[in-house]
A = this chain, B = another copy of it.
C-alpha cells in the first residue's frame, strides 16, 4: 500500500485559491461560477467534491441556510468562531463567544462529548435596518 497519493491538480488549486479570494461564505454553485468567470474551466461536480473533501479534512467551515450549504475557509483551527448573519443582505460577521466553557459542562452533565457546535445568529445589520423602511 503505497499510500494512495493525493494528486495535485489545476482544479484543486483553483478551488483553494478561489476560496481564499472570498471573504464571506459561498455556496458550491457560487464558487463554480466565480471560477468559470475567471476563466478557469472546472466542473460543478468537482467543486462539490473538493468542497466536501476540504470540509472533511477540517479546512472549511460549513453552515446551512435556506436549504443550501455555504463554505468558508476555516481561519481558526484552534478556536471556534460563529457568525452574525444579516437576514436581508446576507452579510456575515465572525463573532467569538467569550465563554465556551459552559458548553462543555452542560454536555458532560448529560454524558455527552462535544465534537463540534454551530452558532448562527440572525438579524439585521445596520445598513439593512435603515433600508427596512420600505416594505
Contact = CB atoms under 8 A, between A and B. Distances in A.
Secondary structure at the A interface, as helix, strand, loop or mixed, is strand
A120 B63 CA distance: 11
A82 B49 CA distance: 31
A43 interface: no
Contacts of A124: 112-113, 115
Instruction: Say how many copies of this protein the assembly contains.
Output: 2
A119 B121 CA distance: 9
A103 B100 CA distance: 13
A125 B112 CA distance: 4
A75 interface: no
Interface stretch (A11-19, A26-34, A50-58, A91-99): A91-99
B87 A110 contact: no
